[in-house]
Structure 1
Amino acid sequence: MVILSFLFCTAALQIQEAHAQQSRVSGRVTTADSDEPLAGVSIKLEGSDVGTVTDAEGKYTLGVSRLDGWLIASFVGFKTERIALGGRAQINFRLESTSEALDQVVVVGYGTQRRRDITGSIAEVSSEELQNQPLVSIDQLLQGKAAGVQISNSSGAPGGRVNIRIRGASSVNAGNEPLFVIDGIPVYNDSKDPGGTSYGTFTPTNAMASLNPEDIESVAILKDASATAIYGSRGNNGVVLITTKRGRGEQVQVDYSGYYGSQRLIRKLDLMNGREHATFLNDWAAEGNMPIPFPDPDAIGEGTDWQDEVFRVAPMQNHQLSLSSGGGKTRYFVSGNYLSQDGIALNSSLDRYSFRINADNQINEKITFSQSIAYNRTINQAVPTNSAGSDNIRSVADKVFATSPTIPVFDENGEYVTDWYGGGKTESPIASLLTIKNRLTGDNLLGNLSLSYKILEGLTFKTLWGVNLISRSNEEYYPRETTYIGGILGGLGVLSERRFTNVLNENTLHYSTDFSDVHQLDVLGGFTWQTEEIKSTTTQPSGFPHDRFGVDNIGSASGVPDVSSSVNEWGLASFIGRANYAYRNKILATVTLRADGSTKFGRGNKWGYFPSMALAYRISEEQFMKAQNIVSDLKIRASYGVTGNQEIGNYQSLARLITSNIYIIDGQLVSGASQTSLANRELRWERAAQWDLGLDVSLFDNALNVVFDYYNKRTNDLLFEVNLPAYSGYSTALYNTGNLNNKGFEVGVGGDLNFGALGWNLNVNYSRNNSEMVSLGRSASTSLFIGYPPGVIRGYIYDGVFNTQQEIDAQSVQQGVKPGDARYRDTNGDGQLDADDLVILGSPIPDYIFGFNNRFTYKGVSLGVFLQGEIGRKEMHGMSITNPATGGSNKLRSLMNRWTPQNPDSDIPRANVSNWMGSSTYNLVDGSYVKIRNIQLGYDIPGRFIGQSRKLHVYASGQNLFTFTRDYPGYDPDGGRHYPTARTIIFGVNLGL
């Protein structure tokens, strides 16, 4: 019986297998560019040994067990393609040559160019690097992805500000942010937010957080003068070109992507508990000859962990639905997006709603009409991310640090505890965070309409009209019952609005031609103008009878409201020209000239001219390079050019008035005006002259690419605030004076490497920038030093403590000290400690920055690992948690090892130290870090499980997983000082129909 059963099962399996082999899948493989058949292409069923090769006509037939799974087509010199069977018996492949990567176009200023013909320094970030990451704004995409681009966070709050530097800071007093060009419209990442109260309560948010990253197709970063000179007066700090997605594919495609995850504090600081802080406060009081506040510290126990109370696990979710098609004469891409992010601090959040329509319509053979329109709405519930007003307002982190762990959250009556020993300007951090209203609402309409007309073969005229309409409103209220500033003023509120109306018009002629396949010429010329009007209104009421309605009923406020309004305008008119020439694809040249006329500068200096030139030599086109098969492409390039910077604000060249003066004339109050600044008709652009030497190498049939650049950029005519003599009646004025130099080198390595079924996408970049003040000119700055970068840290050298009275008696430099006091070095040896002993301690500019991005794929499984770091940066960490001189605020647990009579060998000063100096090497910390920015694990669901769907990808992703530092005492050296950054874990899905 057993034998019969075995024979029966064996026969059944053989019949089933034979039946399965009857399933056939067939198709044809051609080249992507010319549809030529490809013979000898390997066709395999993923995860099996089933495979075949194409015949002379590019055709294949493959027997499979079932019509599901994935087919893989691979051929030397072409990119591997992978297509889901999805029940289909006919699968065609169109393979893209790996050499075509050099022929793909790159977005440059006012057009595109073949990658192989680029003569300037341009870095690219593709939409593929956006996949499966919880990116709130574009700056998160750029961080660590391109050589020479440094991005630092101002805070970890939802929608928090960031600072972006391309090849270092090129200015001191003017703007240092790069110019962003979104679908052809130039915008800046400066604060578009209306102001807060006059007490410094408001922290601006990130303007780029309103742009939906999932709409982005590619990002090109223009770095050298050859690439940026086409933007003239706005190219000094680099240019970031953002291109959003457009219609593609013959069929209508519907895509959904979404994720859900949680955020939590990356690390808790090792702060004192209640018992330890009570012991510290006892010592602090004793050293100040005050009564001991805590006779029995042990009775307090652990106390309150305010980090646990203020910070929380916060959810985050994102959903995007898009519809696109590239078939026919009309291509379109339509998307809708919703993002919701709660902050890890109580009562902080960001909600964003986005909608986009991009369309291209080929009206006839000569006329093409295109549009790109996006609307975004953001609602940001903010909490203080910076302390202000002499600590009348405290940041989130400062609320945690300033509150003693010796007190509970609630008293015996269930009320929030708002006062404790040694605490100044006290308030309950929980009550204040939960009751502060700081609601920022933003609406942004960014769009353009363009019309292209093909006049002749190779000659095209294009006109573009664009608008950027921004409306931001801010509502703040600081309750009288729960906040210190509100208690002083009887409740403090503000209602403010800011509206931007930016209009752009561009008119260009583009001519491209070849001469006998030897000479190629591409010429662009045109005229553009852009204007912007900014209107602001602010009302600041105070003296509310109660907190119930806050700013929703400002009529009830009894205080005299501070009311203001303003309007600002600027305009820019420009002529642009660029010529690209190529000789046999071997000798390449680019010449650019832009003339800008700006309303921001003085009469006679409103126009500036910004030329550049670049040359490149493709050695790989020489005959002696044809015989080898290692170097696919080899190009050396050199460029020189001049760019400008106009970001100084409006009306700086004019004598400005204020109209808030009140005079008494004949016993009557009369409004008047007074002049607040001198006119400077000589005010002109900051100008940077930059040269760049570059090397581009592609190896192993373009599988591996290496880019190297060395640059030197000097900014002349810096816009400085210069001190004026007292008899002038003014303190300072803006002048062109001084020079700043940035030089350095960048290395980038990237490629797609395949080892059988294992694929490895690699992107590594390393850059080093040296910034140096060359001249201060007429400036009398006391914080800038020739030979050092801007922002250097200056202070005293900390030499430990005076451990004994004998040590004090043996020296004469510091008088009036006692054992346990801080000891500072007499650096100039004059026998006294004074300002002449201040020395340069370090710089916040890192020695070098790097990014290391990897993506591995194997049989439907993908693993991405992204590391990023900054090495060699210093910062002054003068926070209350490290300061033994103050009493009420909590301290790092390391201060338990402070000097006491029982611990005389410590190098940490005693509690209530009398000669504390915050600017010293005691507080100087190494801000170097290496972060595991992102790890993502994904899986492509096999075709048999997804039916007619094009794709179904599921993934898990972790962001900011680990940060490695050199004993950094704060939350995060990357901008998490006042609002910590979060570790984020998400689970997501991408579905294509």
Structure 2
Amino acid sequence: MKKSIFSTLLALCVLHALTIRAQVKTQTVTGTVSAVNGEKLPGASLMEKGTGNAGKSDSAGNFRINVSSLNSTLIVSFVGYKTMEVNLAGRSKVDVLMEISSSSVQEVVVVGYGTQQRKDITGSIASISSATIKNQPAASVDQLIQGRAAGVDVSQASGAPGGRLNIRIRGASSLNAGNEPLFVIDDVPVYNNSKDPSGTSYGTFTPTNALASLNPNDIESIQVLKDASATAIYGSRGSNGVIIITTKRGTGNKMTVDYNGYYGVQTVANKLDLMNGQQHAEYLNDWAQSRNLPAPFADPAAIGKGTDWQDELFRPAAIQNHQVSLSSAKNNLKYFVSANYFNQDGIVINSNLKRYSFRVNADARLSEKIRFSQSLSYSRTVNRSVPTSGAGSGNIRSVGEKIYATSPTVPVFDENGDYVDYWYNAAKAESPVASLLTIQNKLQGDNLLGNVSLEYKPLENLTFKSLLGINLVNRNNQEYYPRATTYIGGLLGGLGMIGERKVTNVLNENTVRYTKIFKEKHNVELLGGFTWQREQDFSATAEPSGFADDRLGVNSIGSATGSKILNSSLTEWSMASFLGRANYQFDDKYLLTVSFRADGSSKFGAANKWGYFPSMAVGYRLSEETFMKDLKFLSDLKIRGSYGLTGNQEIGSYQSLATLTTSNSYIFDNKLVSAARHTRLANGELKWEKTAQWDVGLDLAFFDNRLRLTADYYKKDTRDLLFTIDIPGYSGYSSALYNTGGVENKGFELNLGGDIFTGDFTWTADVNFARNKSKITSLGRATSTTLFVGYPPGNYLGYVYEGVFHNQAEIDAQTAQTNVKPGDARYKDVNQDGFLNADDRIVMGNSIPEFIYGLNSSFGYKNFSLTVFLQGAAGADRVENTGLTDPSDSGNKSVRLLNRWSPKNPDSNIPRAGYSNVLTSTYQLMDASYLKVRNVQLSYAIPSSLLPGLAGSSVYVSGQNLLTSTDYIGYDPDGGGDYPTATTIMFGVNLKF
């Protein structure tokens, strides 16, 4: 009886519960989850707040979820993005736009032709966010990369405003073809090769940085693609790595206005430690005595300190930047608009760079299936430059040469107030100050870079995209070297140059993407496409000389009475490509990427125009295995491996063809006749230079991602080098371009990052370290006196310096060196044959660092933050052949030559003044290892209570290149040529309205 009653009551309760459940009506909500850049986010989690109702977005970012009420709130989350709470407010259809989380901005990675989550990456990719490079005073983006990505070696080719940098990703893969990485700026491929017109035939012009036209303040993120799996999708241009730059796009549900501005003062980071006037006068007396000449200075002490030419040519220089931007992502329209003004005076007199830039990025959803995007930037750069490294071979001296070739015994002005332009034993003298102040060298460039694209989505998982990109460059250069103040101008009666260059590069890309999640565990993405690119390059120069008046300069070239050298050229190249990629993920732990690209280039022989570049990568996320789940301290563990082929086509156009020149004239029937002759042999066998690369990597994260480690080991083998080799003279030519030889690079990279402290006091640190070993594996049919099989490129060849001959007895005790005197250099007879000749030279050093590293630490306490960035390199050598080390000429010298050999200082191992047996040797070899304090920045976030309506605003003070620790005695071990780098102190402000 009791059992029957209990059963009846239970049945009534169940029936009542079912009745109540039936009375609760659920509502269905649909929509899409997208990133701020418009990319759909598959696998995003959705949950109705306060209930168990949940769902996920599919492979196309679409979702469907049942909720208890259309007035409830959805909680939306996705790895790498800010978790959002969306109030439905009666809506049954919502589109969720997710913003990247500032604490995990690198979780979403831009790859070739798309994006991926960091956890799903199978290739080797380094990421640099806009937060990392924010508020750095830089004329170009490549300056911001240095030291921030493992395996990326950035060196300064020139410290001048707008000066070029050299970038090597995992070493140099080529000898004659390009070694610079490919830059992809908002989907448009760009090389950092100069598009400047050439200078005069006397080597007066140093090319500027092509990337200086891009405003660094517009950059959202930088991705460095290093291994073949990451770069092979760019095929023929992936051998040297790929740097993808993404600019900012509209964010937020209302229009925001940002102002970013700074002002700073630059000073020369390092001065050479040179002799003063008295010291150099004493040196010149010794130098004259060694040549049996009368002493030029009767009383060196009377000269005193003399003239410090560094103080005369260097100056404190202003740098300033001002940018205003507007941003919004409301409804179906997103836009980012910016205007920028950048002005950098050079630390050398009469040098300056100005940039005016404007950008418009827009995204519009025209319908449920059609999306329009556009990125467009225009910039104008105006560069006033002075001769830097590589200038003129003495006829036109660089800034550094003017300093150490000019005697400090000479005053700037004579008693009449005129510039002094001659000093003792000066064969090609000019006043350094007057020449730099009066040289006219103005380079103006206009650059239009951008794209428009249209996406069409006929099906839920299928997207077609067509993109048209353009890069227009228009530059003109004007130079004038006056008769009155420059050596070359006086020699030629004034030297001028007008140059113009126009480059038009057009790109069309057409891709189709298919994404699908099968049975919640199989995630497939397929990409296929066709691209076409064409470039036309026209240049023209006129080089007149013999001007009647310096004041008119190149504004009156018709009046020039000297020779007028006229040149013009037109080159074109084009490339067509087919590409494909497949990404497959199983159960969020097994990863596979396969890609293939076929490139056809007009630069190669008829039978070899097409190159084929496959790659494959696998990844295994062990942290997703059940047996790893108990390791609570482990957040992520992934091993990955890749192998692939990439190519290089960075040679001039028409290299496979026989070319003609009409620059020669011949006499026929007593008449001067213009004629053409061959300048290059045809080589129809010319083909792609190819690099095979494999990579093994490990990604680790601990303690809820607070500690992160990435490690890679790689090996690159480049074969069929595009190599210019010497050919027999009887052929009528001296050299030709062939495919021959090989280069190997191998090394490892390590990146360690951590959020060490969180809370009121925060400390975040990132360390990267990379070591690369390079060697030439074959020279093939080539011969070289500077390249050796088994050694890396960039070697220095020379003799072993063993000090000096201290006395005549040491000279008499040997036979290898003849015609020497006490105080002359002593070199080692390496092969001990009793003679000193070329056979005794050794590979004595290398310009490539053995390893590079960087350390970035950020400390925060409440509204204050402090960032310290250190960067360094070790194991690189420099050969200093200037007057800093060579006491054989009469230019100014390093103070270390004060300890030179002399009868009064017979124990010294520094050669005597005026010694004659000058050979490149280990005497000039210097260790160029260094550690730099690249940046120190203190910021204060202004509380919104202090400035209502300006939430997110801040002020900061920053110092760049504050300290360099090195044994190198030149201006900068990092390069910079004869235009030194600067130390900058600046103050800035960010205001958000």
Cα deviations by residue, 1:497-539 (Å, 9 ceiling, x for unpaired):
0000000000000000010011110000010000000000000
Instruction: Identify if the C-alpha distance between structure 1 residues 429 and 794 changes in structure 2 by more than 3 Å, giving closer, same or farther.
Output: same
The amino acid of 2:667's aligned partner reads: I
Query: Mind listing any 5+ residue stretches in structure 1 that lack a counterpart?
Result: 1-30, 40-74, 83-93
Matched, 1:197 2:200: yes
Q: Which residue pairs with 1:621 in the alignment?
A: 624
- 1:735-746 pair list within 5 angstroms: 735-746=738-749
Q: Which residue pairs with 2:927 in the alignment?
A: 926
Report SS of the residue matched to 1:808: helix
Matched, 1:484 2:487: yes
Instruction: Identify if the C-alpha distance between structure 1 residues 120 and 452 changes in structure 2 by more than 3 Å, giving closer, same or farther.
Output: same
The amino acid of 1:489's aligned partner reads: L
Matched, 1:575 2:578: yes
Q: Which residue pairs with 1:679 in the alignment?
A: 682
Q: Which residue pairs with 2:971 in the alignment?
A: 971
In structure 2, what is the Cα distance between the partners aligned to 1:483 and 1:98? 58
- 1:786-805 pair list within 5 angstroms: 786-805=789-808
In structure 1, what is the Cα distance between the partners aligned to 2:321 and 2:46? 40
Cα deviations by residue, 1:524-573 (Å, 9 ceiling, x for unpaired):
00100000000000000000011011001111101120011110000000
Matched, 1:156 2:153: no
Q: Which residue pairs with 1:733 in the alignment?
A: 736
Cα deviations by residue, 1:134-168 (Å, 9 ceiling, x for unpaired):
12211111100000000000111000011000000
Report SS of the residue matched to 2:685: coil
Aligned residue pair count: 914
In structure 1, what is the Cα distance between the partners aligned to 2:620 and 2:104? 19
Q: Which residue pairs with 2:30 in the alignment?
A: none
Find 1:304's aligned residue among 302, 307, 332. Answer: 307
Report SS of the residue matched to 2:278: helix
C-alpha contact 1:358 1:372 (8 A) present in aligned 2: yes
In structure 1, what is the Cα distance between the partners aligned to 2:605 and 2:80? 57
Instruction: Measure how far apart 1:722 and its partner are.
Output: 2.0
Instruction: Identify if the C-alpha distance between structure 1 residues 98 and 215 changes in structure 2 by more than 3 Å, giving closer, same or farther.
Output: closer
C-alpha contact 1:102 1:115 (8 A) present in aligned 2: no
Cα deviations by residue, 1:934-965 (Å, 9 ceiling, x for unpaired):
00001012222111112220000000000000
The amino acid of 1:934's aligned partner reads: N
In structure 1, what is the Cα distance between the partners aligned to 2:852 and 2:809? 47
- 1:630-645 pair list within 5 angstroms: 630-645=633-648
Matched, 1:394 2:367: no
The amino acid of 2:797's aligned partner reads: R
Matched, 1:407 2:410: yes
In structure 2, what is the Cα distance between the partners aligned to 1:639 and 1:268? 47
The amino acid of 1:949's aligned partner reads: L
Please identify, of 348-357 and 659-668, the stretch whose mean Cα deviation from structure 2 is larger: 659-668
C-alpha contact 1:802 1:820 (8 A) present in aligned 2: yes
Instruction: Identify if the C-alpha distance between structure 1 residues 916 and 656 changes in structure 2 by more than 3 Å, giving closer, same or farther.
Output: same
In structure 2, what is the Cα distance between the partners aligned to 1:97 and 1:811? 73
In structure 2, what is the Cα distance between the partners aligned to 1:269 and 1:969? 7
Find 1:333's aligned residue among 320, 336, 345. Answer: 336
In structure 2, what is the Cα distance between the partners aligned to 1:662 and 1:836? 44
Report SS of the residue matched to 1:398: helix
Report SS of the residue matched to 1:464: strand
Q: Which residue pairs with 1:218 in the alignment?
A: 221
In structure 2, what is the Cα distance between the partners aligned to 1:122 and 1:800? 49
In structure 2, what is the Cα distance between the partners aligned to 1:99 and 1:432? 51
Instruction: Measure how far apart 1:100 and its partner are.
Output: 9.7
Q: Which residue pairs with 1:985 in the alignment?
A: 985
Matched, 1:955 2:956: yes
Instruction: Measure how far apart 1:832 and its partner are.
Output: 1.0
Q: Which residue pairs with 2:941 in the alignment?
A: 940
Instruction: Measure how far apart 1:103 and its partner are.
Output: 9.5
Cα deviations by residue, 1:45-72 (Å, 9 ceiling, x for unpaired):
xxxxxxxxxxxxxxxxxxxxxxxxxxxx
Report SS of the residue matched to 2:945: helix
C-alpha contact 1:485 1:491 (8 A) present in aligned 2: yes
The amino acid of 2:975's aligned partner reads: G
Q: Which residue pairs with 1:755 in the alignment?
A: 758
The amino acid of 1:638's aligned partner reads: G
Find 2:465's aligned residue among 462, 465, 468. Answer: 462
In structure 2, what is the Cα distance between the partners aligned to 1:701 and 1:99? 16
- 1:334-733 pair list within 5 angstroms: 334-733=337-736
In structure 1, what is the Cα distance between the partners aligned to 2:978 and 2:230? 37
C-alpha contact 1:264 1:984 (8 A) present in aligned 2: yes
In structure 2, what is the Cα distance between the partners aligned to 1:681 and 1:924? 43
- 1:226-375 pair list within 5 angstroms: 226-375=229-378
C-alpha contact 2:272 2:971 (8 A) present in aligned 1: yes
The alignment's TM-score, normalised by the length of structure 2, stands at: 0.90
Instruction: Identify if the C-alpha distance between structure 1 residues 78 and 820 changes in structure 2 by more than 3 Å, giving closer, same or farther.
Output: closer
C-alpha contact 1:361 1:370 (8 A) present in aligned 2: yes
In structure 2, what is the Cα distance between the partners aligned to 1:351 and 1:850? 32
Cα deviations by residue, 1:594-630 (Å, 9 ceiling, x for unpaired):
0000000001100010000001111011001111211
Instruction: Measure how far apart 1:896 and its partner are.
Output: 1.1
Report SS of the residue matched to 2:680: coil
Q: Which residue pairs with 1:836 in the alignment?
A: 839
Report SS of the residue matched to 1:160: coil
Find 2:906's aligned residue among 904, 907, 913. Answer: 904
Cα deviations by residue, 1:754-805 (Å, 9 ceiling, x for unpaired):
3331112221100000000001000011110011001111100111111111
C-alpha contact 1:98 1:703 (8 A) present in aligned 2: no
C-alpha contact 1:387 1:398 (8 A) present in aligned 2: no
In structure 2, what is the Cα distance between the partners aligned to 1:36 and 1:831? 91
Instruction: Identify if the C-alpha distance between structure 1 residues 341 and 301 changes in structure 2 by more than 3 Å, giving closer, same or farther.
Output: same
Report SS of the residue matched to 2:571: strand
The amino acid of 1:983's aligned partner reads: T
In structure 1, what is the Cα distance between the partners aligned to 2:797 and 2:583? 48
C-alpha contact 1:395 1:978 (8 A) present in aligned 2: yes
Instruction: Identify if the C-alpha distance between structure 1 residues 387 and 482 changes in structure 2 by more than 3 Å, giving closer, same or farther.
Output: farther
Instruction: Measure how far apart 1:97 and its partner are.
Output: 11
The amino acid of 2:948's aligned partner reads: G
Instruction: Identify if the C-alpha distance between structure 1 residues 104 and 810 changes in structure 2 by more than 3 Å, giving closer, same or farther.
Output: closer
The amino acid of 1:905's aligned partner reads: D
Report SS of the residue matched to 1:226: helix
* Identity across the alignment (%): 62
In structure 1, what is the Cα distance between the partners aligned to 2:709 and 2:775? 29
Instruction: Identify if the C-alpha distance between structure 1 residues 604 and 510 changes in structure 2 by more than 3 Å, giving closer, same or farther.
Output: same
In structure 1, what is the Cα distance between the partners aligned to 2:106 and 2:492? 66
Instruction: Measure how far apart 1:35 and its partner are.
Output: 7.2
Report SS of the residue matched to 1:708: strand
Report SS of the residue matched to 2:884: helix
C-alpha contact 1:129 1:141 (8 A) present in aligned 2: no
Find 1:171's aligned residue among 167, 170, 174. Answer: 174
Find 1:806's aligned residue among 806, 809, 824. Answer: 809
Instruction: Identify if the C-alpha distance between structure 1 residues 187 and 387 changes in structure 2 by more than 3 Å, giving closer, same or farther.
Output: closer
Matched, 1:207 2:201: no
The amino acid of 1:909's aligned partner reads: P
Instruction: Measure how far apart 1:32 and its partner are.
Output: 10
Instruction: Identify if the C-alpha distance between structure 1 residues 812 and 190 changes in structure 2 by more than 3 Å, giving closer, same or farther.
Output: same
Report SS of the residue matched to 2:394: coil
Q: Which residue pairs with 2:65 in the alignment?
A: none
Instruction: Measure how far apart 1:37 and its partner are.
Output: 5.3
In structure 2, what is the Cα distance between the partners aligned to 1:448 and 1:921? 53
In structure 1, what is the Cα distance between the partners aligned to 2:100 and 2:114? 24
In structure 1, what is the Cα distance between the partners aligned to 2:260 and 2:493? 48
Q: Which residue pairs with 1:781 in the alignment?
A: 784
- 1:816-855 pair list within 5 angstroms: 816-855=819-858
Instruction: Identify if the C-alpha distance between structure 1 residues 135 and 879 changes in structure 2 by more than 3 Å, giving closer, same or farther.
Output: same
In structure 2, what is the Cα distance between the partners aligned to 1:496 and 1:265? 31
In structure 2, what is the Cα distance between the partners aligned to 1:301 and 1:103? 59
